[in-house]
Structure 1
Amino acid sequence: MSDPDHRRKARPTMDLDLLIGRLEVTADKPDSKEPGLGSPVSPLMGQIPEGSASSSTTSSSGSSVTGKSTLSVKKPSDSGDSLKKPTDSGDSESVCTKRQVTGNILCSPDSRRNPVKAAATGLVVGQIPATGNVLPSGNIVPSGKVQPSSGKLQNLRGSRSDVLGSGTGNYGHGSVVRGGRAGGGGETMAGASGHINNVEEVKRKGNEEYRKGNMERALVHYERAIAMAPENAACHGNRAAALAGLGRVWEAVRECEEALRIDPTYLRVHQRLASLHLRLGQVENAWKHLCLAGNPPDSNELRRIQTVERHVNQCADARKVGDWKSALREGDAAIAAGAESCPQLFACRAEALLMLHRPEEADAALSSVQNFELSSTSLSLTKFFGMNGNSYLFFVRSQVDMTLGRFDQAVSAIERASQIDPRSSEIAAMANRARNVVRVRAKGNDLFNMGKFIEACVAYGEGLECDPSNPLLYCNRAACRAKLGQWERAIEDCNQALRFRPKYTKAILRRATYNGELEKWAEAVRDYEILRKELPGDSSVAEALFHAQVALKKSRGEDVHNMKFGGEVEAVSGREQFRAAISLPGVSVVHFKASSNYQCEQISPFVDALCERYPFVNFLKVDINESPAVANAENVRIVPTFKIYKNGCRVKEMICPTEQVLEYSVRHYSL
């Protein structure tokens, strides 16, 4: 190499700005530039492997200098681990894992004509030498050029924001960064090397919280990093990972889309989007991003997508032919296989349950759909079962509301579905059906209130022609027929209502009443016992059950003169009184107590409440100090003790039970 004096003589004077603008470093990926750790005079600077840089040729005139150095840069890791395969973990997104650094002098005609433009795009000045720690031959001003006067230098500094680069370009060989961006990752390098370090520090803290499972805290750090570097694709990818960990899947999808807007070749984000779309049941989108995430695709993810796709297709086929059991099974299998955040599959589950006459369970299944967010605009045209994905949710919601008698909500839901997908024939038919049912139901109610029961029956019948599986219309028509004394036909309508909604308590109560009118006491008792399980605190149901039981026993010729309904807890003082009381038909609950015992005093008010809550149960109390003979005969030594008798036979004994255990036992043996 020529000494500096020889180069000064051979090279013509060249303007500093032109020389600076002719130099550039290009990065192969638009991610944030990773800061280097030192300068060529620092002992911390890592040695470049021998042979990693190609030779360069410099003409004596300085008119052209060509050369290229390829430097493999290992990504700084917060934990010191080696670079890992892209996953959904919260590890810091690699800005780039292998960077090609090219130091071409006079690299293009544009740089010759407009050196300021070339420098403003974030080009780093300097040619990377092939050796390691080499002393500088001129820090900023190239060797051989006379430094400008202090005034000129001051003007230079005032007009430009030139700083020494903090990257891996060798410090001192002209590593000057013009006041733009370097590396395309959105990190401002000019005068902001500390800013980059701050972003990396914030990301590192976010990664630490992510690894600990503190997604909320990790999200806060990632959002701070985005605020500092909004055009950094890695920051958006990290935020997407935290959102996915919190179950905010649609937000995670949008964040990944933003990362891909910045860097369309970001492979790790494509892989993450494939996983997110799979969770949402968006099989086609999952396929697309999986193919872009790498070649060949990840085998595990590929298998998951294939499994979900198979179950979704089989679910659609079963729904098309009305095989609702298979549709329910396949939809649940798709959810279990990975589509656990797909609202359409949960809506399909609700629809299948509704068609299997389990509307309450269908309503519960739809409650989970309310926790999901509607599809983003980019996915709003995705089809499920031949209709728009969002409109399908409202379509099912309308069906469930109609069955449960929430007609106004049903009409509102189907109208929203029509607005989203006005071309769906299935939605249009459902909308017409809902409007007709609401109209004729209102007409029937008005006629019933006016006492026109025959006309009301006709109106409800018109509604059933539109919706032949609506339990509320059957139940209302049963009430009309009961007013007309048509008990048998009224019971038939109740049976139809319960066929489509087996837990419809109003229909069960009406059928029990109508069976009582026909003196079908066994059927009436059966219905009232069902209602007691569904409505344990309803005293009117309890009293109706008691009277039906009395009537049934009487019809069988049993003694019923001592049976009574309700009352207070009866005090028992003698053995004969005790034996007579527990021998009464039905259930008797005996509370053995002592007035001086604290636990007995604590639970006594609850026993009084149970007496009111279960009026058909006979409640007794025995003070063991006042009636020792009864206590000795029943072998009671500890209080409070409860014994339950049924038709004179002891069926249960409890010592110091909790209130919950006591009530459960009373309810169990009284049914």
Structure 2
Amino acid sequence: WHWPTAWCHMFLAPLFAATGLLLRLLLRLLLDLHALFFLPHREAEGFKEQGNAFYIKKDYEEAFNYYTKAIDMCPKNASYYGNRAATLMMLYRYREALEDAQQSVRLDNSFMKGHLREGKCHLSLGNAMAARRCFQKVLELEPDNGQAQQELKNAEAILEYERMAEIGFEKRDFRMVSFPFLRCVMRPLTAASFRQISAPLSGFLLSSPRSDILRMDSTNADALYVRGLCLYYEDCIDKAVQFFVQALRMAPDHDKARLACRNAKALKAKKEEGNKAFKEGSYEAAYELYSEALTIDPNNIKTNAKLYCNRATVGSKLKKLDQAIEDCSKAIKLDETYIKAYLRRAQCYMDTEQYEEAVRDYEKVYQTEKTKEHKHLLKNAQLELKKSKRKDYYKVLGVDKNATEEEIKKAYRKRALLHHPDRHSSATPEVQKEEEKKFKEVGEAFSVLSDPKKKSRYDSGQDLEDDGMNMGDFDANNIFKAFFGGPGGFSFEASGPGNFFFQFG
């Protein structure tokens, strides 16, 4: 009976040991997979829940931050992009919201809320055709979706109004243009959608020297309100207020005219306060006033573009150049034809030595307005870009570009002594090589900046080697010896560990 027991121990024990090892390895693999896939998902879900809580409280900026953290943890989750799109819509950032909504449906084409939000963004940005396609997709996924059914009706109505308005404008028939426009006024549209529909009528009203609308509808509150809106969104706020006030005289209970009038007056007052503070040199106050003005009506794109550009001007005065660049970019995003914003941003790029970006902006300006001034600005930026790609001898010596001859000599003396090879004779080979390189650059810089002819060519951006001045072959020691009094006239001597003094012969 004992022999079979020994046999079992001999053959089965290793099998059990191998099985245990395999189970441990499998458990380890499962733990690693959990850490790799499930923990990030759980953390991302936590961020999403926090984002939801802030969204409910209407703290959309914080909600945006937490949804972004969730996306960073799990960038393939469609619902996270959908939630962030909804938040961006509440912040009136429709273009960014559109990108997130589109990404959500790319990740999950059956994500109904993603298609719905994409459609709303298209509608808010004035693209009723694209909006209609999105709402139709929602109804394919969920035929009884009441919100999509209503939004589809809105999109189709707007497309029909656009068609009618364009026909009326071509015929120069005011009544045919104003009917669809007035119908759109009754709908809750954003500025982009409003301007999309109002473009034909706006052009007709603002360009007509006879002001037919006033002769034909001088007592029509809706017509007066429409004319006021056209002017308001063209940044003609004073005139817009006049029409809103007249509309309210005709119809005191015209709520839309009252709201538009209040916004227009508040926007005008805050902008003027900012302008006054700027003229008085109170830049911090002006910055705050322009910031407050930007919160009054996010839908007034033209006025807000000017406010961003004004705030950028103040920012440049306060040396907040990065913020000024950002504000100019926001102004350009609102109005891609805003030349003043391009010029302001280009100047900020020049001030921060971002010459390639400056050249791009000046090229855009010059393509739009081919004036001598814009051509000069472009050439200057191109020159600075060219100069930035070579050695900056002023930086090598540590002097300003307007340094005097004496300042250049003093700087050379200091840098040459600092980097002279004899001073570093006991250093490592790597340090010696680096210091020798710096010593040579200091000699190059001095040889150019101390010579009026070379300095002039260098400052004008010309290549010194065009005149046969090969800066790679010259001997920095010759400059050093000449500066310090002739050959053999200078030496370093140690006066203690790490301490040196120099002697003249």
TM range (shorter): 0.3 to 0.5
Q: Which protein has the bigger strand share?
A: 1
Structure 1 or 2, whichever has the larger Rg, is: 1
Q: Which protein has the bigger helix share?
A: 2
